[in-house]
Amino acid sequence: MSASVLYDHPGPRARMRNRVLSAVFAVLLLAGLYGIYRAFDSTEQWTWAKWQPFFQDVTLPNGEQGNFWDYALVGLLGTLQAAATAMVFALAFGLVFSAARLSDHVWIRVPAGVIVEFFRAVPVLLMIFFLSFGGFWVFGTYVEPFWSVVIGLTFYNGSVLAEAFRAGIQAVPKGQSEAAYSLGLVKSQVMRMILVPQAARTMLPVIVSQLVVVLKDTALGYIVAYPELMLEGSKSYAVFANVVPTFMVLALIYIVINATLTAIAHLLKRRADRRGVTTAPAKIAAANAAASGVGGGAGA
């Protein structure tokens, strides 16, 4: 019953061929990793002198003691602050403009569409650069690097999320909204109570992916001297003369943060799915009761 007619289980020859191909791929992968290791070893990238600043203090050129984390923690804090602020604003931007793009009023729907498409088309780096270096001539005030990064990330990622939310809302079966309208709900209530919660749950993987993009794109603050992880990391390798190890550790930090964000999102999704399953009977009973009440009132 569960077997698909579009898929046949591999026979003995196919299983043998898959095992051989898997073994060949594993050998090639190990050979590639070994080649990378030898290349690093030949340039003395594994020496203790290059990795010591990550584990203990070393003597700096000015005679003081310091290590990699003296720089990285400052940059990590800046990255997390900018990313968290931009994530909140981008989600709010996406929700507002997805609702605006679904509006029945042309004077709302068309300008919202123009704004979303404009900010999706403009590179984030250009927006950050413009806000920092052109903001004074346009707004008459200096825009700090923090807000240049946050605003640029908000406009771009908020526009992408607006399209994701709009697609998720439109993917909800029309029967959901039709049933809600039949119970006397207005469009704002239908959006807030019926469509948006289901769309958010459906689009959660896309939302998480975009939030990961927000976190990674904070590195673009380098161009306006915002003290984020990449900028502070570059200061550290200039001091400790360990360029390759520094970039390897910085990449590992980004991987850990993004993996943590993804794990939290999966946890929230599992909890939301369980909650949806457990509350489904109650929701159905409430909807039936409401429908019965409406019908009785009409009959009376």
**pLDDT at residue 275 in the model:** 67
State pLDDT tens for residues 125-154.
999 989 888 877 777 778 899 999 999 999
Give the pairing of strands 65-66 and 58-59: antiparallel
Residue 99 has pLDDT above 80, yes or no: yes
Helices (H), ranges, 52-144 = 69-101, 106-121, 124-133, 135-139
Q: Any idea where the domains of the chain sit in the sequence? A: 66-279
Question: How far apart are alpha carbons 155 and 181 in whole angstroms?
Answer: 33
Query: Tokens 């939290």, residue?
Result: 264
Question: How far apart are alpha carbons 218 and 85 in whole angstroms?
Answer: 11
Mean pLDDT of all residues in 218-227 = 91
**pLDDT at residue 84 in the model:** 94
**pLDDT at residue 268 in the model:** 75
Q: For the chain, what's the residue count?
A: 300
State pLDDT tens for residues 57-67.
888 777 788 88
Question: How far apart are alpha carbons 240 and 236 in whole angstroms?
Answer: 6
Which residues have C-beta within 8 Å of that of residue 292, sequence separation ≥ 6? none
Q: Tell me the pTM.
A: 0.79
Residue 230 has pLDDT above 80, yes or no: yes
Mean pLDDT of all residues in 188-216 = 84
> What architecture (CATH level 2) is domain 66-279?
Orthogonal Bundle (1.10)
**pLDDT at residue 190 in the model:** 84
Report yes or no: 167 and 145 within 8 Å, Cβ to Cβ: no
